[in-house]
Amino acid sequence: MPRVLKFLALAGLFVGLAGASAYLTLTFIIRSQDTVVVPELVGRHVVYALEILSDLGLNTRVKGSEFSPDAPKHSVLLQDPAPGAEIKKGRDVRLIVSKGPETLVMPNLTGLSSQQARLILEENGLCLGHLSRVFSPRMFADGVLAQVPAAGSGVRHDRCANLLISAGPRPAAYAMPDLTGLGLDDAILLSERTHLTAGRVSVRYDPDHPLNVVIGQNPAKGSRVTAGASVQLVINRSSSVADPAGMSQAAEGRLFRFRLPEGFLKQRVRVHCNLYGVGTDLANDYFRPGHEIWLLVPAEAYPSLVVYVDEEPVQTRWPED
């Protein structure tokens, strides 16, 4: 009987030791699966660090950024916990990221467009400062002629670059011709030969001058004008003269132009104006191919115009277009 009891005691002790060993082994395996070793991240790109930590089940926390003369921009400067530390999954790994050197080399912007220069400055953490424009025969319009600071100089990240921008070649200059005494058509033709454009046309009555001629102009005759400048004219017109466009004394107008396409036969052209809800035809006649129709229309109301060729609408526009 004592032998049986002794055998049972030994068997129970064996079972207990086996259970304790199994429990400790299982606990160690579970705990080893819940902890990971923090990798070396210093010097690595922050995106790489984010991917590695995510794969290990750790959270990335960027606590700040600092300038560094040695570490490239966006690389890890410091980490916490240190490499080799064992921590549980789901814990945070705190990083300090490099902003790169505190100074950098100013890029060369000359010869680029102002838009390209702006993008390069932004990519390098620099800002665009004051823009000055001058005429230049050697640089296309909107091209960078010069810069401050100079290319290759060391600058801080928050430095702004001032640029000298080309306005293109200087426009040709002319002496403003004398348009007074001319009819509207002749005045516009002479303006275009001088590379000028017709602008506002106003109406005023002066009994000392013939009707329907230019009695005022701006710029004045002899003035220095550049190609493309707008010329404003004053036409002598009596308010008692019938005016299909509704132009009255001291009114302002704009020139409307329409050219017929080339061909062989005359075509009927009707220009219809809708002013203040009232429709009227400003022109309604047959014109030869290639003929250009010029009409003076009121400017203060911006009437809509519809051009009909052989009663088919071909163009709708406004004088301000």
- Return the pLDDT at 42: 93
Domain boundary, last residue among 79, 98, 117: 98
- Return the pLDDT at 314: 82
Domain match, 139 and 93 both: no
CB atoms within 10 A of CB 91: 15
Q: Mean pLDDT across the stretch 125-131?
A: 90
pLDDT band at residue 242 using 50, 70 and 90 as cut-offs: very low
Domain boundary, last residue among 98, 120, 155: 98
Task: Examine residue 247 and state whether it is found in any structural domain, yes or no.
Answer: no
CB atoms within 10 A of CB 157: 16
- Return the pLDDT at 279: 73
Mode of pairing for the β-strands spanning 230-236 and 197-204: parallel
Task: Examine residue 246 and state whether it is found in any structural domain, yes or no.
Answer: no
Task: Examine residue 8 and state whether it is found in any structural domain, yes or no.
Answer: yes
- Return the pLDDT at 13: 59
Task: Examine residue 72 and state whether it is found in any structural domain, yes or no.
Answer: yes
Domain match, 263 and 183 both: no
CB atoms within 10 A of CB 165: 19
Distance from C-alpha of 204 to C-alpha of 251, rounded to nearest angstrom: 7
- Return the pLDDT at 252: 58
Give 136's contacts (C-beta < 8 A, 6+ positions apart).
Answer: 143, 145, 166, 167, 168, 169
Q: Is the predicted pLDDT of residue 8 greater than 80, yes or no?
A: no
In the chain, the number of structural domains is 4
Domain match, 220 and 281 both: no
Task: Examine residue 286 and state whether it is found in any structural domain, yes or no.
Answer: yes
- Return the pLDDT at 2: 61
Domain match, 70 and 145 both: no
Contact between residue 204 and residue 252 where contact means Cβ atoms under 8 Å apart:
no
Q: Is the predicted pLDDT of residue 320 greater than 90, yes or no?
A: no
- Return the pLDDT at 116: 94
pLDDT band at residue 117 using 50, 70 and 90 as cut-offs: very high
pLDDT band at residue 241 using 50, 70 and 90 as cut-offs: very low
Task: Examine residue 321 and state whether it is found in any structural domain, yes or no.
Answer: yes
Q: Which two tokens stand for residue 153?
A: 């100089």
pLDDT band at residue 313 using 50, 70 and 90 as cut-offs: confident
- Return the pLDDT at 193: 83
Q: Is the predicted pLDDT of residue 18 greater than 90, yes or no?
A: no
Domain match, 271 and 300 both: yes
pLDDT tens digit string along 131-176? 999 999 899 999 999 999 999 988 887 789 999 999 998 888 888 9
Task: Examine residue 231 and state whether it is found in any structural domain, yes or no.
Answer: yes
- Return the pLDDT at 295: 76
Domain match, 158 and 184 both: no
Domain boundary, last residue among 241, 276, 298: 241
pLDDT tens digit string along 168-219? 988 888 889 999 999 888 888 888 888 888 778 888 888 888 988 999 999 9
- Return the pLDDT at 243: 46
Contact between residue 246 and residue 214 where contact means Cβ atoms under 8 Å apart:
no
Of 146, 212, 137, 193, the closest CA to residue 170 belongs to 137
Domain match, 158 and 199 both: no
CATH number of the domain within which 77 lies: 3.30.10.20
Average per-residue pLDDT for the chain: 81
What is the 3-class SS of the chain, one letter each residue? CHHHHHHHHHHHHHHHHHHHHHHHHHHHHHHHHHEEECCCCCCCEHHHHHHHHHHCCCEEEEEEEECCCCCCCCEEEEEECCCCCEEECCCEEEEEEECCCCEEECCCCCCCEHHHHHHHHHHCCCEEEEEEEECCCCCCCCEEEEEECCCCCEEECCCEEEEEEECCCCCCEEECCCCCCCEHHHHHHHHHHCCCEEEEEEEECCCCCCCCEEEEEECCCCCEEECCCEEEEEEECCCCCCCCCCCCCCCEEEEEEEECCCCCCCEEEEEEEEECCEEEEEEEEEECCCCEEEEEEECCCCCEEEEEECCEEEEEECCCC
Q: Is the predicted pLDDT of residue 4 greater than 80, yes or no?
A: no
Domain match, 18 and 75 both: yes
- Return the pLDDT at 249: 40
- Return the pLDDT at 319: 44
- Return the pLDDT at 244: 42
Distance from C-alpha of 258 to C-alpha of 315, rounded to nearest angstrom: 9
Residue 264 domain boundaries = 255-321
Q: Mean pLDDT across the stretch 293-312?
A: 74
Distance from C-alpha of 65 to C-alpha of 63, rounded to nearest angstrom: 7
pLDDT band at residue 240 using 50, 70 and 90 as cut-offs: very low
Domain match, 7 and 94 both: yes
Domain match, 132 and 89 both: no
CATH number of the domain within which 259 lies: 2.60.40
Task: Examine residue 137 and state whether it is found in any structural domain, yes or no.
Answer: yes
Domain match, 79 and 109 both: no
Q: Is the pTM of this model over 0.75?
A: no
Distance from C-alpha of 292 to C-alpha of 288, rounded to nearest angstrom: 9
Give 249's contacts (C-beta < 8 A, 6+ positions apart).
Answer: 203, 204, 205, 237, 238, 239
Domain match, 94 and 12 both: yes
Q: Is 208 buried (19+), middle (13-18) or exposed (0-12) by CB count in 10 A?
A: exposed
